[in-house]
Structure 1
Amino acid sequence: MSLMPFWLPILLSAVFVFVASSVINMALKFWHGADYRGLSNEDEVAAAIRKGNPAPGVYGIPFCDPSTFKDPAVQEKFRLGPIAKINLSANGMPNLGKFLGAWFVFCLLVSIACAGLAAHALPPHPGTHVILHTVGLAALLGYSFGEFTNSIWRAQPWIVSIKYMIDGLVYALITAATFVWLWPAV
């Protein structure tokens, strides 16, 4: 089956998830409000980073690669700490419109992937239960499961990842419900 019959559930599920994420992240301040913390010596840390003039990117402290990991000096840096992963963006005010646009494109891509899976795996007239489970699971994979890597490899606290995975579950349910509601009558 072509993806064309799914254009409306693809578009509307992306819009509904975008709106839900806006509510979760802007109106429900208690939910993600404590996910990020400031440093007590933020000005000194910022000055030290500025002094090195690093380009935007991802940095690790202490920095090492497989060839230097067993070096006693590097091991001592790990023992002394801090151990950090730092994401640096370009200077200037963040462009919220750019972030929101990229998020909406991501929502569209998840919905397109859900439609592609459903069009390939489901018969023309599946039951509501089958649509809900198939599309919901695909959307859950898209919106939630990547958060595991943030806690495993990037030192994001597990509670933060779990909250984002719960957000992803909400987005998956919205996506699945939209597909159930607007399933094409082919």
Structure 2
Amino acid sequence: MTLLHLWIPILAAAIAVFVASSFIHMVFKWHNSEYRALPNDDEVRRVLGSAKLSAGLYVTPHCPDMKEMQSEVIQQKFRDGPVALITMRAPGAPAMGKYLLQWFALNIAVAALGAMLALHAFGSPGNAHQAGHFIGIFTLIAYGTGSVQESIWMGRPWSATLKNLLDALIYGTVSALIFWQLWP
């Protein structure tokens, strides 16, 4: 058997994760509390706009290497604050269609990679229950670990990461159930 034999569970898992994500973000909305308004939003927007920054990642205070980070000048900037990581996007309304298409493509890629690994580990006809568990755990890891790294290195609040881990657990569960039921 090849990965092509698993196209139905791959597509079904990708759709199920997409639907679960839609419920999480549009019905339950438990991520809405992660994003706080700046008390002086218009002033911050004016300052950032006047800097003419292109889309990308910015940091303040900025120091290009660890040696400079040890200097008293940079250390004082860190103590005085603000300390920020800023993601700048191109001006314009969010391109939701593009973002959703990319999200669905990621869902397919995660399901396909999980299926490929399970096929290699269990073969076919394999144990559907074991394959489902394996894919569920792989899916949890795939969707969950990036947020943990962001909390460690980028200062993402751990409460936001815990919500993302809950999302990943849901995605892993629906993927496991689908592959368990549809594994050849």
Give TM-score, length-normalised by structure 2: 0.95
* Number of matched pairs: 183
Is 1:52 the counterpart of 2:34? The answer is no
Structure 2 residue runs without a partner (length 5+): none
Distance 1:38 1:133 in 2: 40
Runs of at least 5 residues in structure 1 that lack an aligned partner in the other structure = none
Name the CA distance, whole Å, in 2 between partners of 1:131 and 1:121.
8
For 1:49 and 1:124, locate their aligned partners in 2 and report how far apart those are by CA, in whole Å: 56
The one-letter code of the counterpart of 2:144 is S
Contact 2:128/2:179 (<8 A) preserved: no
Conserved? CA contact 2:132–2:178, under 8 Å: no
SS of aligned partner of 1:59: strand
Counterpart in the other structure of 2:127: 127
Match of 1:111 in 2: 111
Residue-by-residue CA offset, 1:52-82 (whole Å, 9 max, x unaligned): 1011001111111224212222111101001
Note the C-alpha offset of 1:125.
3.1
Matching residue's letter, 1:156 = R
Does residue 24 in structure 1 map to residue 24 in structure 2?
yes
2:128–2:183 CA contact under 8 A, matched in 1: no
TM-score (norm 1): 0.94
The amino acid across from 2:148 in the alignment is F
Structure 1 CA distance, aligned partners of 2:62 and 2:77? Answer: 9
1:157-176 correspondence to structure 2 within 5 Å:
157-176=157-176
Letter in 1 for 2:68: T
Partner of 2:64: 65
Deviation at 1:37, TM superposition (A): 0.4
- The AA in structure 1 aligned to 2:50 is K
Name the aligned partner's letter for residue 2 of structure 2.
S
Secondary structure at 2:35 match in 1: coil
| Structure ranking higher in helix proportion | 2
Shift of residue 19, structure 1, vs aligned partner: 0.6
SS in 1 for 2:145: coil
- The 2-side partners of 1:72 and 1:51 are apart by 29
Supply the AA of the counterpart residue of 1:71.
Answer: S
Amino acid at match of 1:4: L
What is the percentage of aligned positions where both structures have the same residue?
39
Instruction: Tell me the residue number matched to 1:42.
Output: 41
Tell me by how many angstroms 1:153 deviates. 1.0
